């Protein structure tokens, strides 16, 4: 199994990464997860190097890293040239707040450079930004990308899947075959309830996403540690097991492993 979303620098850039990696190793010990993708969400390129060094010395537990670079910067080619010599850099992420411009020409240029490099792109956005994401995906049909919606455990976002407009836009976004969705977007909805209740509370979200993206473009991820700050790893894994229980064994393997391996072009660990 591959957990395609852990954030080892989520809480503090000064974190002792080796100790945190040990914590992660203990957390997933009985989960069946044998590889993770480390996502660097801090907007500081200096943090990319220590994360990559940790990955190099993780005995292949960290299969690769999704780092941050200033995509809108005129220096993006220099960053990409440097990363072309770092095979553990799988791609890049950008986080958009509600007020950020999804149609920035400089950002579009940066994505074009990333596409040429063959790296992936991950976009963390509010579920309310679907129309902008559809337009962005249309402008970059050759860019493999993951969209990770920041679903909330409370507030207006929890009502969105009941909206015909929301569901229609999700299906429209998913018509772009280069767009994937990662399940860690649902993990912060959990409130420490029983696994059954948790599965019921997110089932309508998952059903909408599954109907749109199919089993070929949904990827398992946890968002550990912050994505699980109201629950724990075994509970989240049990929740996902419940969500996908009706799928065939091959479809479950796709969600838990093959889709991430394909998206990130991973080779099996030695």
- 144 and 120 in contact (C-beta within 8 Å)? yes
What proportions of the chain, in percent to the nearest 5, are helix, strand and coil? 45, 15, 35
Asked if the peptide bond before residue 225 counts as cis, ω within 30 degrees of 0, the response is yes
pTM: 0.92
Hey, where are the domains in the chain?
Answer: 71-264
CATH label, 71-264, candidates 3.10.150.10, 3.30.300.30, 3.50.50.60, 3.20.20.140: 3.20.20.140
- Bridge partners of residue 6, in order along the sequence: 38, 224
Encoded tokens for 121:
């792109």
Task: Report whether 147 contacts 123 (CB < 8 A).
Answer: yes
Segment 7-39, tens digit of pLDDT: 988 656 666 888 889 999 999 998 999 999 999
Residues 6+ apart with CB under 8 A from 149: 125, 126, 127, 181, 185
Residue-wise pLDDT for 242-263, tens only, equals: 999 999 999 999 999 999 999 9
Secondary structure class of 92 (helix, strand, coil): strand
From residue 206, alpha-carbon distances to 63, 162, 184 in Å are 26, 12, 11
For residue range 107-135, list pLDDT tens digits in order: 999 999 999 999 999 999 888 888 999 99
């Amino acid at each position: 199994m591959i957990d395609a979303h852990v954030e080892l620098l989520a809480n503090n850039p000064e974190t002792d990464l080796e100790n945190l990696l040990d914590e992660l190793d203990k957390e997933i010990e009985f989960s069946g997860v044998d590889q993770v993708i480390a996502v660097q969400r801090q907007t500081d390129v200096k943090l990319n190097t220590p994360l990559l060094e940790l990955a190099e010395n993780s005995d292949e537990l960290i299969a690769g890293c999704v780092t941050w670079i200033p995509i809108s910067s005129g220096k993006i080619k220099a960053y990409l040239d440097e990363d072309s010599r770092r095979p553990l850099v799988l791609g890049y992420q950008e986080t958009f707040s509600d007020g950020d411009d999804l149609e920035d020409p400089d950002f579009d240029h940066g994505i074009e450079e990333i596409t040429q490099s063959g790296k992936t792109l991950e976009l963390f956005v509010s579920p309310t930004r679907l129309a902008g994401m559809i337009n962005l995906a249309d402008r970059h049909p050759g860019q493999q990308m993951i969209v990770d919606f920041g679903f909330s455990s409370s507030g207006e976002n929890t009502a969105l899947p009941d909206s015909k407009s929301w569901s229609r836009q999700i299906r429209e976004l998913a018509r772009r075959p280069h767009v994937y969705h990662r399940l860690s977007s649902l993990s912060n909805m959990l409130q420490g309830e029983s696994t059954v209740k948790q599965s019921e509370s997110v089932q309508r979200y998952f059903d909408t996403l599954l109907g749109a993206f199919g089993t070929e473009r949904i990827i398992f991820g946890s968002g550990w540690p912050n994505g699980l700050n109201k629950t724990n790893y075994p509970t989240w894994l049990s929740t996902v097991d419940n969500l996908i229980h009706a799928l065939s064994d091959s479809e479950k393997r796709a969600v838990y492993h093959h889709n991430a391996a394909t998206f990130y072009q991973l080779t099996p660990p030695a």
